[in-house]
Amino acid sequence: MALLLNNPDILQKGRAEIEAKVGNQRLVQESDMNHLPYLHCIISETLRLYPAGPLLVPHESREEISLAGYEIPKGTMLLVNVYQIQRDSEIWEEPMKFKPERFEDGRSNGKWMAPFGMGRRRCPGEALAIREVGIVLGALIQCFDWQRIGSELIDLTEGSGLSISMATPLKVMYRPRKIMTDVFLQLSG
C-alpha cells in the first residue's frame, strides 16, 4: 500500500482496471484475477522490490565449480541474495523505481524474478499467495479511498531481520468509497 500511496497514478490505474472489469456492485473475487493484469503487475513489481525475505532457501553445490574466479567446493552451502538480484541495474532498468508496467504483456526478466525461490525448492504456495494477495489488494483498492498523512512521501526504509518489513509502521488515512455502499450493506447482512 505504501508504494501505491507514493505513486497515486499507479493506484488510480489499478482502480480504473478494477472498475472496468469488476464494477462496483460486488467485491473482487478469485475468478476476477485472470482479468486484472495490471493488478498482477503491481503485485509482481512490489515483490521485485520487496520480496518477503532477502535470501532464498539455502542450496548445496552438487559438484566443485568455478564461478566468477571463485572455486566453490562440492557440498558448499549457497545462499541466493534475491533482494540484490531483483534490484540489480545490470538486469533491471531503473531498478529502484516502482514501475509495474515493466511486467505488462508478460514482459519481465523472468529468470531474475524469484521472490518465491527457484527450482525444486520454489515455494509450492506461490500461485495461492499471488491470488490471495490479489484478492485482498484488489478489495482494498476497490473499497477505500487512500491518502498519505501529510504531503511527504511515505518512508520506505526497511527494518532489519530475516523478513523485509518497513522500519516505521505505515500510517495512512482511508475511508470507504461511497460508490461501494451497497456492497458494504450486503456484507453486513
Binding-site residue positions for heme: 123
Query: Quick one: cell of 4?
Result: 501505491
Per the listing, cell 500500500 goes with 1
Cα(112)–Cα(90) distance, integer angstroms: 11
Q: Which of 99, 120, 9 is CA-nearest to residue 49?
A: 99
Note whether 35 and 46 are within 8 A (CB): no
Query: What does DSSP assign to residue 54?
Result: S
Q: Give binding residues as ranges.
A: 123
Cα(183)–Cα(188) distance, integer angstroms: 9
Query: Quick one: cell of 35?
Result: 482479468
Q: Which of 122, 133, 139 is CA-nearest to residue 59?
A: 122
Backbone angles phi, psi at 26, to 5 degrees: -155, 165
Cα(6)–Cα(55) distance, integer angstroms: 26
The β-bridge relationship of strands 144-148 and 172-176 is: antiparallel
Query: What does DSSP assign to residue 175?
Result: E
